[in-house]
Chain A
């Protein structure tokens, strides 16, 4: 199936959940990433139970401090 992850369309195994996508994408600090699926937030406790479908758009939002 095709997912749009951070704006890029790529092929992924059918029916994977968010936890697996986070592994495949080698998300840094997965405990502290915010996930938006089709413009809506996914609760951090809900990654395992969120099965992805063809065409889903996923964004990973990272804590970014810095500045001073």
Chain B
């Protein structure tokens, strides 16, 4: 497939990069990324991946846009309040770039649908806001052999880790199992600064782009933490756990699990 003149112009700043070039752009155009959650993290990730010309982008969210979302969820506008987030996100993505196939999926992920949802995609972005969903995305990606980007944000701090099958730890290696509901602070209780979601969600988009294009080093075996108040990034090296319940040598989890959902997600 050759790029049209319009595409060559649209993606010219990618194509001129010697590490990326036409080859990298073609890989993006054949790439398929699923974004779970059209919120603070999913907003910048979805906009950048659409703008970058990723061939197919799925965006899943069952919620409607709320006024309290708009301080950080920049894919949605004031006129979208009350609309399904997946549809609002899709419209914003296509406004940036009409080329990608954007699939808006109005659903909550659960143990019954997650494997079907991720099947068609090369890379998954975890933009969920609750621990049951984060463990579900992790377990499903491990079980299905899919690469994904984990991220979390709270107050002025964020963290990221990328899982690639066979390389480094999974989310469950680090955080074994979800904390009980209300045991750890949530964004709704503790707050989150809007631009933090932009920083962290944009890094998730960058991980997806690098994975699809096959360039650079991913955040595998590393938890990247970001302290916005100190403007400090840290890379914490982490090992795989041989006895991890899902990616370990004798896994006890062999199918996705539903945990009770924490109160934080029901915004």
Question: Which A residues have a C-beta under 8 Å from some C-beta of B?
Answer: 6-7, 28-29, 31-32, 34, 36, 39-41, 59, 61-68
Q: A29-B184, A31-B183, A32-B183 are in contact. Are A65 and B236 (CB under 8 A)?
A: no
Of A7, A40, A41, A67, which contacts B129 at CB under 8 A? A67
Give the distance in Å from the alpha carbon of A7 to the alpha carbon of B227 in the complex.
13
Between A and B, 7 residue pairs with Cβ closer than 8 Å are A36-B236, A61-B175, A63-B131, A65-B128, A65-B129, A65-B154, A68-B40
Question: Which B residues have a C-beta under 8 Å from some C-beta of A?
Answer: 37-42, 61, 63, 73, 126-131, 134, 151-154, 157-159, 173-176, 179, 183-187, 192, 197, 201, 223, 234, 236-239, 241, 262, 264-265, 267
Q: A29-B184, A32-B184, A61-B223 are in contact. Are A67 and B236 (CB under 8 A)?
A: no
Of A7, A36, A66, which contacts B154 at CB under 8 A? A66
Give the distance in Å from the alpha carbon of A34 to the alpha carbon of B152 in the complex.
15
Q: A67-B153, A67-B201, A68-B39 are known; give 19 further A-B pairs, CB within 8 A.
A: A32-B184, A36-B236, A41-B241, A61-B175, A61-B223, A62-B154, A62-B157, A64-B152, A64-B154, A65-B134, A65-B264, A66-B40, A66-B154, A67-B40, A67-B128, A68-B40, A68-B42, A68-B63, A68-B73
Please give me the residue from chain B that is nearest to A29 by CB atom: B184
Which residues of chain A are near B264, meaning CB under 8 Å?
Answer: 65
Give the distance in Å from the alpha carbon of A43 to the alpha carbon of B222 in the complex.
19
Which residues of chain A are near B197, meaning CB under 8 Å?
Answer: 66-67
Please give me the residue from chain A that is nearest to B201 by CB atom: A67
Q: A6-B234, A34-B174 are in contact. Are A67 and B241 (CB under 8 A)?
A: no
Give the distance in Å from the alpha carbon of A16 to the alpha carbon of B159 in the complex.
28
Q: A34-B175, A61-B236 are in contact. Are A67 and B151 (CB under 8 A)?
A: yes
Please give me the residue from chain A that is nearest to B267 by CB atom: A68
* Least Cβ–Cβ distance between A31 and chain B, in angstroms: 7
Which residues of chain A are near B183, meaning CB under 8 Å?
Answer: 29, 31-32
Which residues of chain B are near A28, meaning CB under 8 Å?
Answer: 185
Cβ B239 vs Cβ A66 within 8 A? no
Q: A29-B184, A40-B239 are in contact. Are A68 and B41 (CB under 8 A)?
A: yes
Q: Which of A6, A40, A66, A67 has the most chain B CB within a 10 Å cutoff?
A: A67
Which residues of chain B are near A66, meaning CB under 8 Å?
Answer: 40-41, 129, 152-154, 186-187, 192, 197
